[in-house]
Copies of this chain bind each other. A is one copy, B any other.
Amino acid sequence: MTETDRSAPGGAGLTRAQGAPTAVERVVAAIRDGVRAGRFVPGQRLVEADLIRDLGVGRNSLREALSRLSSDGLIVVEPHRGASVRRLGRRDVAEFYELREVLEGLGARLAAENIELPGNRERFTSALEAVRDATGAAQMADYIDENTRFHRAIVELAGRARLLELVDQLQIQTFRVQFRNALARDRTGMREYSAAEHEDLAEAILAGDAERAERTMRQHLRHTGGGVMQLPDTDFA
């Protein structure tokens, strides 16, 4: 029936091998992307029966998918009340940026240390140019998206599987909040500020200066998080 579409390179489980990206992961991807894109709004209930009908999967597969999403912190499952898209309060967002600071700070440090490894410099400059181009993109959303990719690329260079997994989870969360208000207040001034910090960061990494890379990354995320925290209450839970 349902064609096994083997796309969805999202960033599934990491302790999981990849042989056939079948079934349950389709649901995980669908809901995750739906939340990211805002089709599922925070607090919205995710009724099993509806999802089964819409996604065309069995209840087992659906429930397992919900379980995984719950582990990732994207949804909340309350006993006998079912799943709902997680609401992010100020406290949550602040904690996420705090964690990103230490984790991506470590990632930047390691990336700088590993910059001489074969292929790494090429991969990094490629990601850097992509985010440079996106600075002038028409849609703020596109910039945020490319920005996320840039940060992720750095952690990839670090070469730590579990670290990458953790950062992925946190990025999705902060991505959500950033995205929510991206369309409304599109302040290109913020982009340029962010872009300038990216250049500093890139310089440090390309120079192999681990210490400076970490410091710059942490500062950058502190600034970004601070900006997000200044948003009005309506953008949170």
Contacts and interface: CB of A to CB of B under 8 A. Distances in A.
Interface of A is mostly: helix
A123 interface: no
B96 A162 contact: yes
Contacts of A20: 79-80
Contacts of A11: none
How many copies, total?
Answer: 2
22 contacts: A15-B73, A15-B76, A16-B70, A16-B76, A16-B78, A17-B78, A17-B79, A60-B63, A64-B64, A64-B67, A67-B67, A67-B68, A71-B71, A73-B162, A95-B161, A98-B160, A98-B163, A99-B103, A99-B106, A102-B102, A102-B103, A102-B106
A99 B163 CA distance: 7
A105 interface: yes
Contact of A95 (B63, B77, B162): B162
A72 interface: yes
B22 A79 contact: yes
Nearest to A21: B79
Given A63-B60, A64-B63, A13 B103 contact: no
A95 B163 contact: yes
A22 B86 CA distance: 22
A19 interface: yes
Contacts of A86: 15
A166 interface: yes
Interface string A54-96: 0000001001100110111101111110000010000010011
Contacts of A105: 102
Contacts of A95: 160-163
A71 B103 contact: no
Contact of A16 (B13, B77, B163): B77
Among A22, A71, A80, the one with the most B-chain Cβ atoms within 10 Å of its Cβ is A71
A103 B100 CA distance: 10
